[in-house]
Chains A and B, each alone.
Chain A
């Protein structure tokens, strides 16, 4: 790996990665990562939108990755990857983690369904789901994806890749324009 580190570095440079993490998303790590992201993007007017998407994606990996490890308190929590990159006039936030095939198909359908809705329909669905779901016992994943969709400036992108042990690797990507659209 030491030999390949320059190649790894150059790849990140080409992809304009501002921020990347791969590993177990413990609560402590989530808090630390959110702190780092805020430091890096504190001048950005869209920081709250970026931050909101980042938190929901990271909490998804934490609670729903099929690959798990033990966090600092000995609780099992998800392993995955999360990146924030720049692409011309947008910030691009992505997460990736292992999921069982049936969950992968459901997530893909969720993304498709949300992409078919406009902003006001997403806002109505968001509110409806908050009213419908009792808070107890739910970690909030369904609403989290709606939140990501309604905060994004473009449709959600997702990719399903073959992964080990019959699992899929599910990647979700959301994008935010760098400067707020004055019409939105």
Chain B
């Protein structure tokens, strides 16, 4: 399994884990906005300098919150920073219309709520931007407090101000930080679990390939052994063409088993071996030689690489040679076999979708087919 696939698997698990955090953030923001701010605004309606502005601000917060929620859960593209601007403007507005003596009460609702709504907008953007909004909020608040406080209450107001800022700022930041840690943990846990599963399936694949090879070795050895026995006892004549053919076939099969060095069969080699097996069953000795490490290829590309060769291999009568040369950005598969009946000269060449090029050539001696994939 590739690193890329492991990463994707990890991300999927992390996204599921993260959903809980997003639901919590939305619930806290709207819960606070309805349960605390509505009574606050209603209770102090008569005291605001401009009451309808407080209500309008409250509605704007709801609009921003809904847009942010749509982005969080459905990926809606919303202008995050302009919306943060709206929140900050409402924040300043509410501070401005709140009577001086009510600055630390629920009438001045936006001050304590902005952190949660900013969190909705900045949920996946790290803690930095959120801190910046909270700092701006603190500065506006400080200006408001300084403007509103009287000489007698100055020191006490500043102390309350710090408490207030601390209380409203710490919680959103803590939630963001906690979700970040949770996301990281989920990601690495999922990735290591996927890696473990990949390793296990690789082990099973290798065991399977090993067993398959043992079985084939058993069959080939038996045939080769019988042949050698017949040759040794004189029952088979080395000059006999059929005996020579049987020897060539057994030798090719043994050679192919020796050459199979891949622990886990690559799908392309697997497909090619299946074609070669068919030809061998018809008595055609085939050499299959693979060089290099095959990159991961789509099924469609593998099919385009293997199929034209399979068709030609089916017509092979004497011997055949299949080679695979692999590099990270190029895979070339070729088949050569002696030309039998058919037109003396023939040559086709066409690019298949520009991804896998194919050519076929025959002359008096040789039929030669090549397919070649190049990374785009």
Are chains A and B native binding partners rather than an unrelated pairing? no
- Which of A's residues lie within 8 Å of B, judged by CB? none
